[in-house]
Amino acid sequence: MFVKFIYIILIILAATAVAVGDVLLKKASGYTNFSHFLKSPWIIFAALLYLFSIIVFSYIFFSGVQLINVGIVQLILYALIIVGSGVLFFNEKLTIVKMIGVALGVTAVILMNL
């Protein structure tokens, strides 16, 4: 039971790392020079977050643990972080149509895992 809890925590951390990495990539997209883009601290930190998530997801996948419900939580957490960061950090507007789209996406993930 404790081991499964550790796996769940690792998956949540890895999903958060992917979402934060995506946000950092968007932050770094303001660079117009490709060499400056690659040297950006945003890109370097995003790459480290992606590497962490790849290691965690690979380890859990190859360990054979059945954590289907955690996959649902991972996708929903990712969506919330991405949408929330867009609103908070990039001044994106969350219109009714976008909220419906997010709700439909979350509903689709849940339905596909029933």
What's the pTM?
0.77
Q: What percent of the chain has pLDDT above 70? A: 96
Decide if 68 contacts 4 (C-beta within 8 A): no
Distance between CA atoms of residues 54 and 56, nearest Å: 6
Q: What percent of the chain has pLDDT over 90?
A: 34
Mean pLDDT confidence for 5-22 = 89
Provide the pLDDT confidence category of residue 30 given band limits of 50, 70 and 90: confident
**How confident is the model at residue 75, as a pLDDT?**
81
Say which residues have a Cβ less than 8 Å from residue 60's Cβ, sequence separation at least 6.
Answer: 7, 10, 11, 67
In this prediction, residue 11 carries a pLDDT of 86
